[in-house]
Structure 1
Amino acid sequence: MNKAIITLTKGGMKLGLKLLNSIDQAVLYVHPRFYMECENIKKIDGKMTEFIGKIFHKYRCLIFIMSTGIVVRAIAPYIQDKKTDPAVIVLDERARNVISLLSGHIGGANDYTKKIAKMINANPVITTASDVNESIAVDTLAMELDCEIEDFYDATKVTAHIVNGEKVGLISDIFIDKEMPLNIIKVDKENIDDKFKGLIYISEKNINKPIGIDCVVLRPKNIILGIGCRRGKTEEEIINAVEDTLNILKLSKKSIKHITTVDVKKNEEGLIKAAKVLKVPLIIVDRKDIKKVESQFEQSEFVKKQIGVGAVCEPAAFLTSKAGKMLQKKKGYDGITIAVFREGE
């Protein structure tokens, strides 16, 4: 379950049941007075503010059917950061209005609000400036393109320029099949002038930002690291090798989509911990799949005798990169090998 519907009244419960039957992955919390034993219906446990504290980060979206004032007071102690706070939506029990209250862009509250309003024929209330002006915020753009924002303060400044109708340049190393507001203009690095109030870079590469223009960098998740290692290599050794590789290639750590290795290394503690430090998945590739493509890469007879395939990092990265482009052939780091691919389209 990733959505919680919360209500305190009998009328709110009636609307809550309607939503519960229409929304996937949802649970309904009701006041104990109106509780009925039914699948996906639970009691509100204890005082409202304390109860919200227990569930605030348990769900991706909290849908309240009650007064906005009650909701604001209940969630206030637990609001931390728009990068991690859940979407919060408020409905009146007559189903007249659906209000996007918190995490409108990154949390998805604006999209949830529109969907719920359409579902129950209500009025969607969205107050974020980019939506009101039918423009786009940098965090929304990043989410739609599956990019990570390098600096949220920079994103806020550039979003302000977009919403104010000022000229913003877009410099992208990835293909963007999306219609942009008229004041966001696709340019290359050589055509930047002082007419631009802001710049959006979308790249996995290190960026030298021009002075005097507000800039934000969005990192696409398109770098695949194939890693092979001797048994017992530590998390620190692997991370150091990864960082050295990225520095040489002038690539951002934030653009790593995943690291990948062969099935015999799936329980290698150093690799597992390194993936957690990098906050990326560890993708395991079966040897039978590597055998199908290993002839395309340099092989080691020693490795073949040990594990049955003559190459690990290059074929593993190739197979999990949608036949992407190799940016670095196998490079050795004292018992660790790393190959780098840029994901294919």
Structure 2
Amino acid sequence: MNIAVFSVTENGRQLSVRIAEALGAEHRVSRYCFHKHTDDNAAVFWNMGSMVGRLFERSDVFIFVCACGIAVRAAAPYLGTKPDDPAIIVMDDGGRFVIPVLSGHIGSANHIAEILADSLGSTAVITTSEDEAGGFSLESFVAANDLIICDGKAAKEISSAVLHDEKIGFFSNYKHSGLPEELTEFGVCRTGICIDANTAVKPFDVTVNLVPKNVVLGMRCKSDTSAEAVESAVTSALDGIGIKRISCIAAVGEVPELCSFCEKLGVSFKIYGSAELDGGEAECEQIALKSGGKLIIKEKEFDGISIAVSETPVFLDFERKS
């Protein structure tokens, strides 16, 4: 994940260094310091709100080492919808508390807060209701298993039903671990979870459809291909498959716009050389299959851009943490 750490004081600057050290092994961490308290390894800002705006679309997590009100005012103008907003975490510059403010589950703010608390000797202040109750959390499960919520209103009803001890139905053709006690595959339930690529399946009166993010694209295009051409070709190739289902794009050779497109989507980008392929035709199919999935769309060409699509296996693990 791309993590942006903001600080405004000298204590905050020092703490931001420790935050970067705690998270840097697994994530891309960038530090942004107020111009009066900065160092050579941080970018400088004069106006926090403006800097947050510049980074908003390409950041997965914002960590603010400052007063909560400052952080909220800096991020508020750019907030959109719950599934799309980045995680927002606030820490006091004394390093005593780590507070997930936004996107606790889907954006992994709660999980990152707990990592920081363990690493820095701080206290994670988790306020989401499912965590307080200690029961099944739909959003935590979604984040941990790379799923997409297709109906936010239905998702809220599921969370409400859990808090009111109502049994939740579960339907999926994907393999999965044992279900938590709140879920059942048997009997008649008013509300339920359906995990399937087909969002038209509605087994319950209130069904929250979850779709796996398990689509891999194998691509080949010229190095001067434009960003607009890449996006148009991908949309055409997927032929109704949601672009949010892409988990990875693999390419033959390095193409700058493909890399930028992956950053925009927040998906991984893999590059393969000709020596890693068998020398035959359908190179895009070969690299699309290197993730261990099955081919669902054979290689096609869209205005000079070749694309093949595969789907990786799904295993739903209710014990997995995001």
Is the shorter-chain TM-score for this pair beyond 0.5, marking a shared fold?
Answer: yes
Distance 1:199 1:30, change over 3 A: same
Output one character per residue of 1:58-115: Cα deviation in whole Å (capped at 9) or x when no partner: 4322211221122222222121122222211111122221100111112211111111
Distance 1:12 1:203, change over 3 A: same
**Whose relative contact order is higher, 1 or 2, with alpha carbons under 8 Å and at least 6 apart?**
2
The yes-or-no answer on 1:43 pairing with 2:44 is: yes
CA change 1:21–1:170 in 2 (3 A) is same
For 1:220, the equivalent position in structure 2 comes to: 212
- Counterparts of 1:254-273 in structure 2, within 5 Å, are none
Change in CA separation of 1:55 and 1:312 when aligned onto 2, cut-off 3 Å = closer
Q: Which residue of 1 aligns with 2:180?
A: 181
Q: Deviations over 1:157-194 (max 9, x none)?
A: 222212332100111211123x5431112x1xxx441x
Q: Could you report, residue by residue, the CA deviation over 1:121-140 in whole angstroms, capped at 9, with x for unpaired residues?
A: 11111111122222233232
Which whole-Å deviations, capped at 9, do the CAs of 1:258-289 have from their partners, x for residues lacking one? 7889x69x99xxxx9xx99xx79998988887
Gaps (5+ residues) in structure 2? 221-229, 301-305, 315-322
TM-score, structure 2 as length reference: 0.71
Query: What is the DSSP-based 3-state SS (H/G/I as helix, E as strand, rest coil) of the residue aligned with 2:158?
Result: helix
Aligned-residue CA RMSD (Å): 4.3
Is the Cα contact below 8 Å between 1:27 and 1:41 reproduced in 2? yes
- For 2:308 and 2:58, locate their aligned partners in 1 and report how far apart those are by CA, in whole Å: 37
1:89·1:101 contact (CA, 8 Å) conserved in 2?
yes
The amino acid that maps onto 2:110 is N
Q: Which residue of 2 aligns with 1:149?
A: 149
CA contact (8 A) 1:7 1:16 kept: yes
Partner residue in 1 for 2:14: 14
Give the structure with higher Rg (CA): 1
Distance in 2 between the 1:33 and 1:235 partners? 41
Instruction: Say if 1:60 and 1:287 are closer, same or farther in 2 by CA, change over 3 A.
Output: closer
Question: In the aligned structure 2, how far is the partner of 1:219 from the partner of 1:106?
Answer: 14
Judged with a 3 Å threshold, the aligned counterparts in structure 2 of structure 1 residues 217 and 97 are, in CA distance, closer, same or farther, namely: same
Corresponding residue for residue 135 of structure 1: 135
- Cα deviation for residue 253 of structure 1 reads 7.6
Measured after TM superposition, the shift of residue 144 of structure 1 is 1.6
Aligned counterparts, 1:1-345, within 5 A = 2-24=2-24, 25-35=28-38, 38-46=39-47, 48-177=48-177, 180-185=179-184, 187=185, 191-193=186-188, 196-210=189-203, 213-222=205-214, 243=239, 309=280, 312=282, 316=286, 319-320=289-290, 322=292, 324=293, 343-344=312-313
Match of 1:301 in 2: none
Secondary structure of the structure 1 residue equivalent to 2:197: coil
Aligned residues: 297
Summarize the Cα distance change of 1:203–1:45 in structure 2 as closer, same or farther, 3 Å threshold.
Answer: same
Alpha-carbon distance change, 288 to 132 in structure 1, aligned in 2, over 3 angstroms: same
CA-to-aligned-CA distance 1:22-44 (integer Å, 9 cap, x gap):
33132332332223xx4422322
Q: CA–CA distance in 1 between the matches of 2:160 and 2:210? A: 16
